[in-house]
């Protein structure tokens, strides 16, 4: 396929490189990031979108997505697909889908899970909102970039799935960090705590796959001085998107709100910026009351 790829940073760069390596004609545009191997540089986002079968975007937020959509949709061919892999607010995803439909362009919101490691390895999970027939068109590309695709329903539902998932992730990691800190203060060995919780009702992905305690369980960012696999500031972004969505539909999310408060303080007033989100254990271990 002929692909335009807008946003070639830590996630978009390896995704575009994998598509090029698979034999697709990829033309990329980014205001700062270098061109990945095999990707041809376009002068602008609109230039990358011209005559493309699929335009893929990987952008920082909904405002940037809307601005890029204003540039690329007029350049796209009717029947082409705009595949947005960013994590943005649900309203922006649905607004862009409506704007695309007015131009007879198909739009899919397809945020990802798996981080930079998954983007590089081509093992991302895609949560897709939009029309099933458009998903059929892009599925070969998703198969190159990822290992699993879940169609979540109409436009915006991919973003809804992503923020609900990450609200669970943020909250479970926060309480996992608190549990390790409590175990320390009770004199319970971390390995013993892990051995019990990882094989009983306290088990979670945050514990058994991404353990925040160094030297416990499989290798994780905790074993690399909390260099980010998923940065704490990105968790703040995703949790805020979840809280904004909850406010919009009057959903009660007090546990999510408390987890957001902890991550936001860790990033904005403490030493969490630039660290992995699991470094919240350092905050929980301090002698303080929340």
Q: Residues 243-259: pLDDT tens digits?
A: 999 999 999 999 999 99
Architecture in CATH of 2-153: 3-Layer(aba) Sandwich (3.40)
Considering the domain 160-285, what is its CATH architecture?
Orthogonal Bundle (1.10)
Partnered with residue 124 across adjacent β-strands are: 146
Percent of the residues in the chain that have a pLDDT greater than 90, as a whole number: 96
| Residues 6 or more apart whose Cβ sits within 8 Å of residue 14 | 36, 116, 119, 120
Q: Using one digit for the tens of pLDDT, what is the confidence trace for 171-217?
A: 999 999 999 999 999 999 999 999 999 999 999 999 999 999 999 99
Interatomic CA distance for residues 18 and 211, integer angstroms = 29
> Three-class SS string for 57-94?
ECCCCHHHHHHHHHHHHHHCCCCCEEEECCCCCHHHHH
In tens, the pLDDT along 233-244 reads 999 999 999 999
Residue-wise pLDDT for 131-162, tens only, equals 999 999 999 999 999 999 999 999 999 999 99
Q: How does strand 106-109 pair with strand 146-153?
A: unpaired
Report the alpha-carbon distance of residue 133 to residue 258 in Å, rounded: 40
> Which residue bears the tokens 């004609």?
25
Q: Annotated active-site positions, please?
A: 162
Q: For residues 27 and 5, is the Cβ–Cβ distance under 8 A?
A: yes
Question: Is there a shared CATH topology between the 2-153 domain and the 160-285 domain?
Answer: no
Burial 221-251 (b: 16+ CB within 10 A, else e): bbeeebebbbbbbbbbbbbebbbebbeeeee
DSSP 8-state class, residue 270? S
Per-domain boundaries in the chain: 2-153, 160-285
Task: Please compute, for residue 133, the number of CA atoms within 13 A of its CA located in the half-sphere on the CB side.
Answer: 4
Global pTM reads 0.91
């Amino acid at each position: 396929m002929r692909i335009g790829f807008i946003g070639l940073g830590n996630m978009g760069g390896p995704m575009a490189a994998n598509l090029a390596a698979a034999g697709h004609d990829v033309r990329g545009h980014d205001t700062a990031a270098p061109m990945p191997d095999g990707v041809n540089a376009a002068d602008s986002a609109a230039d990358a979108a011209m005559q493309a079968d699929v335009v893929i975007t990987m952008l920082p937020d909904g405002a940037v997505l809307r601005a890029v959509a204003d540039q690329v949709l007029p350049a796209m061919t009717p029947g082409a697909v705009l595949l947005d892999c960013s994590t943005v607010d649900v309203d922006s995803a649905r607004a862009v889908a409506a704007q695309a439909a007015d131009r007879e362009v198909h739009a899919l919101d397809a945020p990802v899970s798996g981080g930079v490691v998954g983007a590089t390895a081509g093992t991302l999970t895609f949560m897709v909102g939009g029309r099933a027939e458009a998903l059929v068109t892009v599925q070969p590309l998703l198969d190159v970039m990822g290992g699993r695709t879940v169609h979540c329903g109409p436009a915006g539902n991919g973003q809804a799935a992503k923020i609900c998932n990450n609200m669970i992730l943020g909250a479970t990691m926060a309480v996992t960090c608190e549990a390790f800190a409590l175990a320390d203060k009770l004199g319970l060995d971390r390995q013993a705590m892990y051995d019990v919780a990882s094989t009983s009702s306290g088990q979670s992905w945050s514990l058994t796959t991404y353990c925040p305690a160094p030297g416990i369980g499989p290798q994780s960012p905790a074993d690399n001085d909390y260099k980010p696999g998923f940065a704490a500031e990105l968790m703040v972004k995703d949790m805020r998107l979840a809280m904004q969505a909850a406010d919009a539909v009057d959903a009660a999310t007090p546990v999510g709100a408390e987890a957001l408060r902890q991550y936001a303080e860790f990033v904005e007033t403490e030493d969490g910026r630039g660290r992995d989100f699991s470094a919240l254990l350092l905050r929980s271990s301090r002698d303080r009351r929340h």
